[in-house]
Amino acid sequence: MNSKNTESSEKTFLGKDASFKGELSFRGTLCIDGKFEGQINTDDTLIITQDGIIEANIQAGTVICEGLVKGNIVASTKVELRPNSNIIGDVQSPSLIIEVGAKLDGKCDMTHKNNNTT
3-state secondary structure labels for all residues of 39-61: EEECCCEEEECCCCEEEEEEEEE
pLDDT exceeds 80 at position 92: yes
pTM: 0.85
Mean pLDDT of the chain: 88
Band of pLDDT at residue 7, cut at 50, 70 and 90? very low
Q: In the chain, what are the domain boundaries?
A: 27-90
Query: What is the spatial distance between Cα 93 and Cα 112, in angstroms, rounded to a whole number?
Result: 7
Q: What is the pLDDT of residues 10-53, one digit of tens each?
A: 788 888 888 999 999 999 999 999 999 999 999 999 999 999 99
pLDDT exceeds 70 at position 3: no
